[in-house]
Amino acid sequence: MRRLEGKVAVITGAASGMGRGTAIRFAGEGASIVIADLNQEGGESVVRECKENGGNAVFHKTDVASEESIKAAIDRAVNEFGRLDITFNNAGIGGALGPLEDITVADWDRTFAILLRSVFLGIKHSVPPMRKGGGGSIISTASVAGLRGGAGPLVYSVAKAGVVHLTKCAAIDYGRERIRVNAICPGGINTPLVSGLMPGGEAAAAQLMKNLQPIPRAGGPDDIAGMALYLASDDSEWVTGTTMVVDGGLMAGRHLFGGDQSAFDNKLEWSGPSFEFRKK
């Protein structure tokens, strides 16, 4: 039996990387999905892949920094498919890079808007339709960088720590209504958001990342999709308020990049979506 048969999901940042991998996986498990992303071309491509994998999907152009846009994506799920069972707050950026003293207030605020405020908004607007349907699963992408200092860019790390704590607090608030709230903390996952920062692209990123953790390979979107599937399905019915670390053993005792971000950010001051980088 397909584990998400009849369920409806909204996935932000689903046009590429972890969101794309999760959308395709959910589709194969029977879900109907709203692909919520700014990247229309990529999003429409994922819709086709979801349908080819046995599910149903629609694309909804979504700016996760906008409350109106996130609410519209969730409303689209209810209007298109009749309910909402799963929200995956996954959209992300690298955000402001470089020494703290050089980071502008505008870049700090935008980083938090996309990485943390969007999760607040995704939870806020998912609760009413999930309550009406008798419960649901809200999943958010955090990071190992939100669990330990020195494991990622500074502002990104602080925002991801906020996602971890927001997850716990929201889980307490909504557990009685059978709305579960969990987070996934990826380690070194080779996605366009990462490989786009590096000369040599995906292959170079895979080479750099393969020895960062005990399992000697870079993580991939399918590794995150597997955990997201577990948290979205009824298999995790009694799991809420958790941060599920998916990192190949990295957090067992080794530091991401050895605490050195220079391979990624020494020529950049901003890492946006996978198609937006700003050089110094």
Pairing type for strands 86-89 and 136-141 reads parallel
For the chain, state the CA radius of gyration. Answer: 17
Enumerate the β-bridge partners of residue 184. 141, 244
Residue partners of 199: CB distance under 8 A and separation at least 6: none
230 catalytic, yes or no?
no
Render 92-137 in DSSP notation, one character per residue. ---EE-S-GGG--HHHHHHHHIIIIIHHHHHHHHHHHHHHHHT-EE
Check if the beta carbon of residue 162 is closer than 8 Å to that of residue 111: no
For tokens 């995790």, name the residue.
Answer: 236
φ/ψ (deg, to 5) at 186: -70, 150
Check if the beta carbon of residue 18 is closer than 8 Å to that of residue 189: yes
Check if the beta carbon of residue 219 is closer than 8 Å to that of residue 249: no
Q: In what order do the strands lie in the sheet with 277-279?
A: 95-96, 268-271, 277-279
Among candidate residues 112, 156, 174, 270, the one labeled active-site is: 156
Sign of dihedral through CA atoms 226, 8, 55, 38? Answer: negative
What is residue 241's DSSP assignment?
S
Kindly list the catalytic residues: 156
